[in-house]
Amino acid sequence: MKKIVVLSGAGMSAESGMSTFRDAGGLWDKYPVEQVATPEGYRRNPELVIRFYNDRRKQLLEVKPNNGHKLLAEMETSFNVTVITQNVDNLHERAGSNHVIHLHGELTKVCSSYDPGNEQYVKELKPEEYEVKMGDLAADGSQLRPFIVWFGEAVPQIETAIRYTEKADVFVIIGTSMNVYPAAGLLNYVPRNAEIYLIDPKEVQIGSSRTIHVIQKGASEGVAELLSRLRE
Ligand code: APR
């Protein structure tokens, strides 16, 4: 089976009603990124950060996977599909994708504030636990923190993501402005003979000399078109 590796970003979930970050009216317009998505911001005002992610989690309960997520999951019947996502939502999994690598963490999980990378203290929240409070503690006695990779933090899953990217027959970029590294750098690991597709309703600037098949559409329509092109 052909190996398809997808790199998804916020635009993948836009049609489900999740906000993107860098579009006008995106999350980073409404919330200063240095307050809610950096270790320094968390140290300064943990309450604000915990509330921000509680709100994001609440939003998870209100949204559903869109046709783009569903088509990617269905592709597993004909292709070997790996989804590398920058998204912290669980919409790929809820659509039925079986192999999802989360580069930037997961909203549904919490971890230790002292030792955020330590798997031992990572815990999956049930929906009724989505509202984390100050004073809720990890097993090491520290405040429960969102299991999110913030700016300036290491991206432990990148090595795994690189391994899959290096084996791709087809690499598909969906709904990411390709501004954030190391995620955007995965493109450099795509084998020479692999095909690269980009699905985004807007033009995305990519600093690569590679030939990129651009499907200038939203995620749902774009993935449908990708499928028909792959079947040609
Ligand atoms: N379908 C597909 N793409 C879309 C859609 C849609 N319906 N709507 C918008 N987009 C595109 C935008 O045109 C843009 O290119 O999605 C992209 C979203 O880009 P960003 O907001 O920059 O999101 P992303 O690239 O995922 O951000 C990367 O930055 O702040 C961090 O950690 C956060 O994971 C995030 C990372």
137 Cα to the center of ligand 1, angstroms: 32
**All structural domains of the chain with their residue ranges:** 1-17+65-104+154-232, 19-62+108-148
Ligand 1 within 6 A of CB of 202: yes
- Per-residue pLDDT of the chain in tens (232 residues, 90 and over written 9): 999 999 999 999 999 999 899 988 888 888 899 999 999 999 999 999 999 999 999 999 999 999 999 999 999 999 999 999 999 999 999 999 999 999 999 999 999 999 999 999 999 999 999 999 999 999 999 999 999 999 999 999 999 999 999 999 999 999 999 999 999 999 999 999 999 999 999 999 998 999 999 999 999 999 999 999 999 8
Mutate to test the pocket of ligand 1, among 7, 21, 69, 147 (most ligand atoms within 8 A of CB): 21
Mutate to test the pocket of ligand 1, among 6, 16, 200 (most ligand atoms within 8 A of CB): 200
Q: Give the model's pLDDT for residue 13.
A: 98
Pairing of strands 123-124, 105-112: antiparallel
Atom number, ligand 1, closest to the C-alpha of residue 86: 34
Ligand 1 within 6 A of CB of 8: no
179 Cα to the center of ligand 1, angstroms: 9
What is the Cα gyration radius of the chain? 18
Judged on CB neighbours under 10 Å (0-12, 13-18, 19+), 181 is exposed
67-74 vs 219-231: helix crossing angle, rounded to 10: 30
Ligand 1 within 6 A of CB of 15: yes
Whether 99 is catalytic is no
CA–CA gap between residue 17 and residue 59 (Å, rounded) = 9
Ligand 1 within 6 A of CB of 201: yes
Q: Name the closest-CA residue to atom 30, ligand 1.
A: 21
Ligand 1 within 6 A of CB of 9: yes
Q: Which CATH architecture has domain 1-17+65-104+154-232?
A: 3-Layer(aba) Sandwich (3.40)
125 Cα to the center of ligand 1, angstroms: 25
Q: Which of 92, 102, 104, 213 is catalytic?
A: 104
Decide if domain 19-62+108-148 falls under CATH 3.10.110.10.
no
CA–CA gap between residue 84 and residue 158 (Å, rounded) = 9
CA–CA gap between residue 57 and residue 75 (Å, rounded) = 28
Judged on CB neighbours under 10 Å (0-12, 13-18, 19+), 201 is middle
